[in-house]
Structure 1
């Protein structure tokens, strides 16, 4: 039992390390040794849990999905859908330094994976982003706003755009300014009255 717990903890450390290192260095520059070092485990142990780099990327995507689910779970406890959406924007703004340095964790990985022609990992990255879009659309729907899927696309695109520009220009203030604009936009949206 103790051995299984330790093995599970080691695998989790490797998964979290993969998500961090892939975000910070990108897929092409990241080696299994980089991930092992970040996780504090011998490089040989990486191969025990993950046979290929793609398996580690898949685990990192699962970590991104878990983090998204944790965030939306916390936000889901807020009674007002508009406050949930605003909380999402505020969570993005709180990570402005990271966005300026490395971009969006899932978005940048999705872009990298989209350039590969040898697998399905790009679709898995897209599935994490789709999960965010679906959650966001559900909040707009709960507010009885017209075209909730389009509004979700606008909001998530706004985040991806501000992350990309903040990263390209190395200006965290872009995330702050655009985050404020998105908060004002959310406040301006009015429900459909029947």
Structure 2
């Protein structure tokens, strides 16, 4: 026989919609601001306005939360890049728009570093070998940038993608270390000019590249 108390007990054990998402959002923000090592499960529960004991219903370990953070960032990155493709017709315009988006985040980057780069670096340091979670956060923008450069006719698309992402990540580190958001803005302008020159230059094979837009 199913009693009222049994029914209530079963209902109480079912996750409520939105609680997991609230935990992940809180974890994303805390980890961005203070890093994985300095973020505790209690910190996350408090930021999500939940009891720490309830957190274990959704995530058994801190590593589970970190994986959820990376998955969330990966989804956000992919969605943002897909949106750029829908808003801009040419690969050159898409690349320049990406640089512009990064520059818009300069204040946050100057305070806490790049959301993806700092997390990827921290995860890579704690791993004994290559960390697939850390690699994912860099692989998504790298692969996307390579596709755009390849669409511009560049046979050195991979190298150019590496140069673009490395340049951005390097300026993010400097901006954060020096506390100078304007450094990101200057670097963004330089990268946009660089992309313009690539659209009208020759690739390593000597073939002339030209693109409108």
Is TM-score (shorter-chain normalized) higher than 0.5?
Answer: yes
How far, CA to CA, are the matches of 1:8 and 1:58 in structure 2? Answer: 20
How far, CA to CA, are the matches of 2:188 and 2:65 in structure 1? Answer: 32
Per the alignment, do residues 84 and 4 of structure 1 end up closer, same or farther by CA in structure 2, a change over 3 Å counting? farther
Q: Please, which runs of 5 or more residues in structure 2 have no aligned partner?
A: 1-10, 202-206
User: Is it true that 1:79 corresponds to 2:89 in the alignment?
Assistant: yes
CA contact (8 A) 1:18 1:59 kept: no
How far, CA to CA, are the matches of 2:175 and 2:182 in structure 1? Answer: 7
User: Residue 5 of structure 2 corresponds to which residue in structure 1?
Assistant: none
* Cα distance per residue 1:82-141 (max 9 Å; x no partner): 111011101100000111111111111111112214687x32121121111001100001
Q: Please, which runs of 5 or more residues in structure 1 have no aligned partner?
A: none
Per the alignment, do residues 5 and 134 of structure 1 end up closer, same or farther by CA in structure 2, a change over 3 Å counting? farther
**Post-superposition offset of 1:7:** 2.9
Per the alignment, do residues 79 and 171 of structure 1 end up closer, same or farther by CA in structure 2, a change over 3 Å counting? same
User: Residue 193 of structure 1 corresponds to which residue in structure 2?
Assistant: 208
User: Residue 145 of structure 2 corresponds to which residue in structure 1?
Assistant: 136
CA contact (8 A) 2:99 2:191 kept: yes
For the aligned residues, what is the CA RMSD? 2.1
How far, CA to CA, are the matches of 1:152 and 1:53 in structure 2? Answer: 33
User: Residue 42 of structure 2 corresponds to which residue in structure 1?
Assistant: 33
User: Residue 63 of structure 1 corresponds to which residue in structure 2?
Assistant: 72
User: Residue 167 of structure 1 corresponds to which residue in structure 2?
Assistant: 176
Per the alignment, do residues 51 and 4 of structure 1 end up closer, same or farther by CA in structure 2, a change over 3 Å counting? closer
User: Residue 8 of structure 2 corresponds to which residue in structure 1?
Assistant: none
Of the two structures, which has the highest relative contact order with CA contacts closer than 8 Å and spacing of 6 or more?
A: 1
Per the alignment, do residues 60 and 153 of structure 1 end up closer, same or farther by CA in structure 2, a change over 3 Å counting? same
**Post-superposition offset of 1:18:** 1.2
TM-score, normalised to structure 1, is 0.91
**Post-superposition offset of 1:50:** 0.6
Q: 5 Å matches for 1:104-183? A: 104-117=114-127, 122-183=131-192
Q: Which portions of structure 1, spanning 4 or more consecutive aligned residues, are displaced by more than 4 angstroms?
A: 2-6
How far, CA to CA, are the matches of 2:58 and 2:39 in structure 1? Answer: 17
User: Residue 62 of structure 2 corresponds to which residue in structure 1?
Assistant: 53
CA contact (8 A) 2:100 2:188 kept: yes
CA contact (8 A) 2:117 2:137 kept: no
Structure showing greater Rg = 2
